[in-house]
Amino acid sequence: MKYTEADIIPLEDPLEFIRSHQEMFLPFGNLRASSIVAILVDEALSLTGAKASAFRVNDWWVVSCEADWLLRSAEQTIDTLFQQITACPQLGVNSHYFEVVLHAFADDLITLTTQESERLLIKGNAPALEEIEAAKELATGWKRMTLFRYHAPDS
């Protein structure tokens, strides 16, 4: 069967689709925060080749990288990468940025760069300023950092 562009039906609510089909987006449908972190670190490494790290500051999970793995084209914004299933062919056929999956399951989510103007609260509450400063200290040489809280059995 051959598909055409006319066969594509846009999702009305990508986040709800991800939540209701988690087995399509998470290995073995695994909702553990540590699995989500592993996928984000793999994405950052695969897209940049730069040093990426993951750690915790209090109850926040942190993924940082020495390069901005969310560099985007003119038609993509950071908000888009967290709101919609966005193709990422650099990761392989039928691959997409994982940030939208993170958004679907995180309780609180923020991403920032070394430029103060590029701090974007995606969902919920932001970490306390002391927690952000602690994360910055632990993530030496970082260019982008994503912090999230997810209350699952291993969080």
- Residue-wise burial string across 56-85, b where 16 or more C-beta atoms lie within 10 A, e elsewhere: ebeebbbbbbbbbbbeeeeeeebeebbebb
Q: How far apart are CA 105 and CA 148, in angstroms?
A: 10
Per-residue confidence (pLDDT) for residue 155, from 0 to 100? 42
| Cα angle 87-44-33, degrees, rounded to a multiple of 5 | 95
Q: How far apart are CA 79 and CA 34, in angstroms?
A: 23
18-40 pLDDT, tens digit per residue, is 999 888 888 766 778 888 999 99
Q: How far apart are CA 46 and CA 31, in angstroms?
A: 22
Place of tokens 């793995």: 69
Q: Retrieve residue 5's tokens.
A: 């562009």
Which residues of the chain, if any, have pLDDT below 70?
A: 28-29, 72-74, 152-155
Per-residue confidence (pLDDT) for residue 74, from 0 to 100? 65
